[in-house]
Amino acid sequence: MIVVLSKSVSSHDKEMIRIYLRDRGLSIREHFLGDDAIIGASGKGVVDIRELGLLPGVERVAATSKPYELVSRETKAEDTIVTVGAGPSFPGVKIGGSRITVIAGPCAVESKEQIMETAALVRESGAVMLRGGAYKPRTSPYAFQGLGMQGLEFMKAAGEAYGMPIVTEVVSPELALQMKDLIDMFQIGARNMQNFELLKKVGSLGKPVLLKRGPSATIEEWLLSAEYLLAAGTRDVVLCERGIRTFETYTRNTLDISAIPVVKGLSHLPVMVDPSHAVGIRAKVSSAALAAIAAGADGLTVEVHPRPDEALSDGPQSLYPEQFERLMRDIEALAPVVGKELLRTPRLGAAGAPRPKPQVGTGSPEGPAELPVAFCGENGAFAEQALMRAFGEEAPRLQVKSFPGIFDAVLEGSAVAGVVPVENSQTGSIHENYDLFLRYSDVAIVGELKLRIVHCLIGDERASLDSITIVRSHPQGFGQCKEFLDKYPQWTLEPATTTADAVASIAREGAVKVAAIAGEAAALAHGLKVIKAGIETNPLNYTRFVIISRRDGDSAPVPPSLGSGAPNKASLVFSVPDEPGALFGCLKILSDRGINLSKLESRPIQGKPWEYLFYVDVSIPDTVEDFEAAIGELKTKTRDFHYLGAYRASL
């Protein structure tokens, strides 16, 4: 049984609760989890749960039959987000929540050159942490055992050179103490999952821990090992499924995909997957990795070697750098489908060194933003989801009531950036917002992000499909759910500023006749019920948001989650003289330099009937000089040329 105490519990009330439990024959344990004080109680005694719940100082009682307490979702409902490697000059890498965190590196550190080379490669592809074994628990005593402390020194140097926290396996309590100050995260290997003395020692050192599942461990045994770590004091535990032993011999182990949703239901701890040790065959690793992400994993740890054929351990399962690069791109494309964003490293500067920390950029690895990021809409709006995806859940937000309000906040400096929806994959451009870029020429696009839009019909607790007569949403919401709405021609449709505004209005009015079309987050934020989920006509329904900031800002707050590397996309707006071939001439400038056009749209010019502006998105080639020359030439051939910004394209 778990008793969560209220924040204001007095020491007297606490003592009375202890006495109450002991008097009824239960043995008790006291813990802290975040801000919550918790008493775990077990034994043969019988307790009236309702009576216990009414004692002063008791917030909540969970009558769990589970043998673990601190790792249980019954103790802590919200996801734990683990931060690794935070320091005075680095905010740390986050694991858990709405991000996908990828750790990569060789099975073993083999030399300084090898770990440096691997770190550079995996970082370039987007890994945010570096892995590598210095103490290798090998099945054969004659196999390569690792470089020991020297290997750790090499790894530390590589982690520092490339701005990546390091994780490495610890095999004994004595070594844990020696390793502590060299590493950012301990890994407890599969073979040591039930080495309880090791768990107690590592759990007491205050460093994050990646806990592999033992090859023959049940989910409950695995969670109990995590309980050892938490009971010893650490809060930062990440579980790692790495394949279990079954009768199948084709693969090295069997990746237990179903363990991911099961454990995420049972525990608040993040769950990562190691597809390399699970599968053991290089050609199958990426498929398993993508399956893990689809099943809800919070991240991956993947073995990558610059030359796997020369690897001293686990070469056959180590990815070639090109395979890892491809995998990262596939994860990026898959992430929005499962409502997540791939966590990206901050961009590399010209010399290959990490750029200085942006002031905001809190999709982490950056820490919380100081100035807020603006979005339009009520709590739970899709724009708020996009903001959290880009800047992290903790990023301070500024809610404004209209789309121009976002631009105003950014220009006035009350927000450091803004999140603006510009296009939906089904219903097309949001022209109102496109037009704002022309009115606010001191604002530039610095990033983009695509969010999967799953619409729900949302109403009061008592509302049902039969009680509804009015449906409110943003007109885009109606457009995206047309097939569903066509089944209910008797409903009156009322437009709202945003989908979440529609939800908020129902919460205020408490109406059973009115429903809203919006995302599930809006229902949760306003305490309403989802009457029907997934009502968008096409499940491939994405909205593209752009991140805007002031042009004169000295550090454009590009969240690292929005891509690493130099900008590869730019948005332009121009009009052309009214003469034959004028538009063709402009497009030829781009085509002659091999610059790809990803969007071309015309819009009427306000106040000039029958004259049009062209909205153009282009890719920026590797030869930036070609791009700059093309822009220079376009300026001379067009009228009203606006350069909206250059940024990293979202897939």
Burial class (CB within 10 angstroms; exposed 0-12, middle 13-18, buried 19+) of 612: middle
297 is a site residue for ligand PEP (CB under 6 A): no
Least distance to ligand PEP from the beta carbon of 66, Å?
25
133 is a site residue for ligand PEP (CB under 6 A): yes
Active-site choice (543, 614, 627, 638): 543
104 backbone dihedrals φ, ψ, rounded to 5°: -145, 160
Whose Cβ is closer to ligand PEP: residue 195's or residue 385's? 195
Least distance to ligand PEP from the beta carbon of 120, Å?
20
Letter for the amino acid at 416?
A: V
Give the Cα separation of 285 and 315 in Å (integer).
13
Residues of this chain, 301-360, that bind ligand PEP according to CB under 6 A: none
242 contact, one of ligand PEP, Mn ion, none, CB 5-8 Å limit per kind: ligand PEP
Least distance to ligand PEP from the beta carbon of 147, Å?
14
Least distance to Mn ion from the beta carbon of 280, Å?
9
- How distant, in Å, are the alpha carbons of 317, 421, 452, 479, 545 from that of 424? 40, 8, 10, 10, 9
Give the Cα separation of 339 and 560 in Å (integer).
18
Residue nearest to ligand PEP (CB): 189
Span near ligand PEP by CB under 6 A; candidates 81-89, 185-193, 570-578, 626-634: 185-193
Helix or strand or coil: residue 268? coil
329 contact, one of Mn ion, ligand PEP, none, CB 5-8 Å limit per kind: none
Span near ligand PEP by CB under 6 A; candidates 73-81, 187-195, 316-324, 401-409: 187-195
What's the token pair of residue 158? 């590589």
Active-site choice (186, 545, 574, 627): 545
What's the token pair of residue 525? 């934020």
Tell me if residue 543 is catalytic: yes
Tell me if residue 118 is catalytic: no
Instruction: Count Cβ atoms below 10 Å from residue 169 Cβ, excluding itself.
Output: 25
Least distance to Mn ion from the beta carbon of 24, Å?
49
277 is a site residue for ligand PEP (CB under 6 A): yes
Span near ligand PEP by CB under 6 A; candidates 87-95, 189-197, 435-443, 533-541: 189-197
Q: Say if strands 36-42 and 2-5 run parallel, antiparallel, or are unpaired.
A: antiparallel
Give the Cα separation of 66 and 222 in Å (integer).
13
Letter for the amino acid at 550?
A: R
212 contact, one of ligand PEP, Mn ion, none, CB 5-8 Å limit per kind: ligand PEP
Least distance to ligand PEP from the beta carbon of 277, Å?
4
22 contact, one of ligand PEP, Mn ion, none, CB 5-8 Å limit per kind: none
- 377 in Cβ contact with 501 (< 8 Å): yes
Least distance to ligand PEP from the beta carbon of 115, Å?
14
Q: Which of 66, 94, 201, 212 binds ligand PEP (CB under 6 A)?
A: 212
H-only helix segments in 273-320: 275-279, 282-294
183 is a site residue for ligand PEP (CB under 6 A): no
Whose Cβ is closer to ligand PEP: residue 183's or residue 517's? 183
Helix or strand or coil: residue 175? helix
- Give the chain's radius of gyration (CA, Å): 27
Instruction: Count Cβ atoms below 10 Å from residue 7 Cβ, excluding itself.
Output: 10
Give the Cα separation of 494 and 616 in Å (integer).
33
536 contact, one of Mn ion, ligand PEP, none, CB 5-8 Å limit per kind: none
Give the Cα separation of 501 and 508 in Å (integer).
11
550 contact, one of ligand PEP, Mn ion, none, CB 5-8 Å limit per kind: none
Cis peptide bond N-terminal to 609, omega within 30: no
107 is a site residue for ligand PEP (CB under 6 A): yes
List interacting residues with Mn ion (CB under 5 A).
107, 314
H-only helix segments in 249-350: 259-266, 275-279, 282-294, 321-334
Q: Which of 3, 127, 190, 297 binds ligand PEP (CB under 6 A)?
A: 190
Residues lying near ligand PEP in the complex (CB under 6 A): 107, 133, 169, 189-191, 212, 242, 274, 277
Q: Which residues are catalytic?
A: 543, 545
